[in-house]
Amino acid sequence: MKNYKLNNMNLSAISERISTPKYDRSKVTTGIVHVGIGGFHRAHEAFYTDELLHDPTVTDWGICGIALLDFDTKIYNTLKEQDGLYTLIVKELDGTLTKRVIGSIVECLYAPENPVKVIEKMASSEVKIISLTITEGGYNYDEATKQFDFTNPLINHDLENPQAPKTIFGYLTQALKLRKERGLKGCTIQSCDNIQGNGHFAKKMLLSYVQVAEPELVAWIEANVSFPNAMVDRITPATSPLDIEILKETTGIDDAWPVVCEPFKQWVIEDDFIAGRPAWETVGAQFVEDVVPYEKMKLSLLNAGHSVLGILGALYGYSTIDEAASNADISSFLRIYMGNEVTPTLGDLEGVNLKNYKFSLIQRFGNTYIKDQIDRICSQSSAKIPIFILPTINTQLERKGSIDHAAFVIAAFAIYSVGVNEFGTQLIIKDAMETVLNEKAIASRKNSEAFLEIESIFGKLKNNTTFVKSYINAYQNIIQNGIEKSVKDINSNVLNKI
């Protein structure tokens, strides 16, 4: 079988082997600028948009992908060489692979190389939406102060070098300033990150920055820019060398960075697009008035569930999420956490069948073909825990509900952060706060509460005696009896419910 490098030139030959875009990509203009062209965006928004572009009347909603950070060079170079094309490989529940070339990213820019070009693009009149997957940590929020973190050196850099920013806040501010100066319309800033009220949060963080950088722009943004909230869902593990190899062997397509994902997908969006929007509802997205219940449910069950499986799984020595999910004790732990600790905090979620959702999660986590990496899930936990788990703990403490399983996860995270598990396996800690986590984790060996002193992750939790008591119990139990016995212990006497 002849091999074809994935690019425009080879597209018609490739279309004889797998599904490819049936629309003329050269006629598609960019109505969307997307920052953060990692797997999550390419499995989700870019996929929905590709579906939509198959409607011949839609030509103005192509995506310009922005690689914002220095370490995004690889994805930028790959997409540039492949004319923005990549293969989406859906790993179905029965193990079959559904492959398709996605064409919606019609332009790519590398911000560190040409910041002015990126600012101009974001300010251009054809662009109606600037969407973001910049990760939970990318919003520069400090849990300790509950404010935008002005101590971040990169933020100071942006304040001093407005024409050559490094953070999303510097870019957005300059682009919106240009729109205002040129008398252009505003646009929508659409967060696709896993954060409660992600649109409103993006607005709050951006305005905190603008207030200092360009105070006279604040009112214009308030009047001309909208920030819809959204719940975005599709499990997208990191692409492995084997995924690349299998694609090449089975189809002859040489794609340097395909994206692999689960079959499930969901996108629930608040309909607040000041400059218009694509009709994503025609390709499966749901537009609703209030996204809050969907977000809460997803963050506190799916994302937190991932963290539970990831952190406990790492201590057991597993490397993939499905391995952790199929361990009977970890699975009971997760069901108890979901049923006893998360569910009571969710109240009545209008329009949502919570029971079905929880059952579907158990099935998704257990999908043995996905092989989602525990390393991926545990990475940047310092930014994830305050969003995924802390709200559950705080609400449960307020309502005097159980927090034992949640406290156990935090204790397990303290032990995880030492960087090696009890079986001597080295744990890869990829976290912006790696040094602090490690220092406090080591200090916890003498004083187990030391870990809770990291206020930017845990807020004031260290002052809550109920929580601290439960945390110390769990910590000491794991250290003395090992992870397996202590998980069994904490599950015993609790009804295994979901």
Positions in the binding site for ligand CS2 (CB under 6 A): 194, 233-235, 303, 306, 377, 384
CA angle centred on 177, ends 172 and 180, rounded to 5°? 125
Q: How many CA atoms lie within 13 A of 171 on its CB side?
A: 27
Whole-angstrom distance, CA of residue 260 vs CA of residue 379: 19
Whole-angstrom distance, CA of residue 332 vs CA of residue 441: 27
Nearer to ligand CS2, 127 or 338 (CB): 338
In this structure, the chain runs to a length of 498
Cβ of residue 9: shortest distance to ligand CS2, in angstroms? 34
Nearer to ligand CS2, 239 or 303 (CB): 303
Cβ of residue 237: shortest distance to ligand CS2, in angstroms? 8
Cβ of residue 321: shortest distance to ligand CS2, in angstroms? 9
Cβ of residue 70: shortest distance to ligand CS2, in angstroms? 21
Q: How far is CA 169 from CA 14, 157, 217, in A?
A: 40, 11, 13
Backbone angles phi, psi at 135, to 5 degrees: 70, 160
Cβ of residue 232: shortest distance to ligand CS2, in angstroms? 6
Partnered with residue 86 across adjacent β-strands are 102
Cβ of residue 99: shortest distance to ligand CS2, in angstroms? 21
> Residue 133 corresponds to which tokens in the numbers above?
């997957």
Give me the amino acid identity at 268.
V
Q: 313 near 374, Cβ under 8 Å?
A: yes
Nearer to ligand CS2, 187 or 374 (CB): 374
Q: b/e map of 312-340 (b: 16 or more CB within 10 Å)?
A: bbbbbebebbbbbbebebbbbbbbbbbbb
Nearer to ligand CS2, 177 or 384 (CB): 384
- Cα dihedral across residues 69, 38, 131, 78: positive or negative: positive
Partnered with residue 147 across adjacent β-strands are 142
Partnered with residue 359 across adjacent β-strands are none
Nearer to ligand CS2, 34 or 384 (CB): 384
Cβ of residue 234: shortest distance to ligand CS2, in angstroms? 5
At 421 the three-state DSSP class reads coil
Closest CA to 76 of 35, 128, 133, 116: 35
Whole-angstrom distance, CA of residue 438 vs CA of residue 443: 9
Centre a 10 Å sphere on the Cβ of residue 2 and count the other Cβ atoms it contains: 6
Nearer to ligand CS2, 214 or 262 (CB): 262
Run of H or E residues at 181: helix 168-181
Nearer to ligand CS2, 198 or 491 (CB): 198
Nearer to ligand CS2, 179 or 265 (CB): 265
Q: Residue for token digits 């935090």?
A: 410
Q: How far is CA 416 from CA 127, 222, 267, 311, 425, in A?
A: 44, 43, 33, 7, 11
Cβ of residue 160: shortest distance to ligand CS2, in angstroms? 32
The one-character DSSP state at 30 is E
**Minimal CB distance residue for ligand CS2:** 306
Cβ of residue 46: shortest distance to ligand CS2, in angstroms? 15
Cα 128 to the center of its chain, rounded Å: 23
Question: How much helix, strand and coil, in percent to the nearest 5, is found in the chain?
Answer: 50, 15, 35
Nearer to ligand CS2, 253 or 304 (CB): 304
Cβ of residue 377: shortest distance to ligand CS2, in angstroms? 5
Cβ of residue 303: shortest distance to ligand CS2, in angstroms? 4
Centre a 10 Å sphere on the Cβ of residue 302 and count the other Cβ atoms it contains: 22
Nearer to ligand CS2, 194 or 208 (CB): 194
Nearer to ligand CS2, 50 or 295 (CB): 295
Nearer to ligand CS2, 50 or 233 (CB): 233
